[in-house]
A = this chain, B = another copy of it.
Amino acid sequence: MSDFDVNAYLLRCAALAEDFAGNVLRPERQLPSELYSAMRYSFFAGGKRIRPALAYAAAEAVSGDGTSSIPFGVAIEMIHTYSLIHDDLPSMDDDELRRGKPTCHVKYGEAMAILAGDALLADAFAMLTEEGMAGRYPADTLIKCIKEISLAAGGVGMVAGQAVDILSEGQTLDLPALEFLHTHKTGALIRASVMTGGLSAKASASELEALGRYADRVGLAFQVADDILDVVGDTETLGKPVGSDEGLSKATYPSVMGLAEARKRLVELIDEANEFTIPFGERGEPLRAIATFVGSRNN
């Protein structure tokens, strides 16, 4: 057992991401202010910032310094935020609370919430192509990172997962369908976080392959853990009503394979993820610590 302090690491990565994002989402930057407020409200609503942390840890595994990952982690966190805003809409999951606070559409109205999400998505790419970035990264690295992120966000990535989620409400999904859902809905952006972190640090082809395999396990583990939490957690810990997914008859890992099997699967996924970090030696410690954290998190 390592004595690596994962909570301190996550806090440090979150602070770096939030500092950077604070400059991107500047109060004076855009009109109308209500759009801007809605974007900031949801982006700064809290959260562990797991995606920026994964990007940081991947860059650190490759080069010993995670700093190069920060813009990419923030871009992905902006896209993650937009997806939460749209997911919470009345026509989607119809959630009124997220992390114990009113969701974006409850606070700003449905139209402004849709637009805030749209802006966060487009602005992620604008941020990655602003002039400072072109000076800091080779143009072909930027292109590769934008490709990873846009594919992960779009119709062959996260949105495909969200669409399956919506379309399968009230249906019984089998395991392959459930894995399609989650590898797309949650896994794609998690993979993009790790891959762009690696790319930003000039990872070799074999390093990128190891990072990709690590990321696929962690992405799935993330969702298995979430599903288990939804069964065994409580409202206070999660900041949303327990069993809310079950209330809408959504398929979950525990409902498809049973709670004990889901827990076993989670342990296997984390073990596999950690194996793929071995080539990075000591520098892979943050990746291992985050995977273990994902497997044992309770909020």
Contacts and interface: CB of A to CB of B under 8 A. Distances in A.
Contacts of A154: 118-119, 121-123, 125-126
Q: Which 10 A-B pairs have the closest CB atoms?
A: A122-B154, A119-B155, A139-B139, A91-B110, A129-B147, A125-B150, A126-B150, A35-B163, A122-B153, A123-B154
A124 B130 CA distance: 18
Given A92-B114, A112-B163, A134 B126 contact: no
A252 interface: no
A156 B157 CA distance: 26
Nearest to A153: B122
A149 B121 CA distance: 12
A39 B36 CA distance: 28
Interface in A135-175: 138-140, 142-144, 146-147, 149-151, 153-160, 162-164, 166-167
B129 A150 contact: yes
A30 B134 contact: no
A143 B135 CA distance: 12
A53 interface: no
B111 A91 contact: yes
A95 to B, nearest CB: 13
A109 B35 CA distance: 25
A8 interface: no
Contacts of A109: 91
Contacts of A79: 122
Contacts of A264: none
Nearest to A130: B147
Given A134-B143, A139-B143, A121 B123 contact: no
A69 to B, nearest CB: 18
Contacts of A125: 125, 146, 149-150, 154
A123 B111 contact: no
B115 A114 contact: no
Q: In the complex, which of the residues A114, A151, A156 has the most CB atoms of chain B within 10 Å of its own CB atom?
A: A114
Given A86-B118, A139-B142, A143-B129, A163 B32 contact: yes
A89 interface: yes
Contacts of A118: 82-83, 86, 117-118, 121, 154, 159, 162
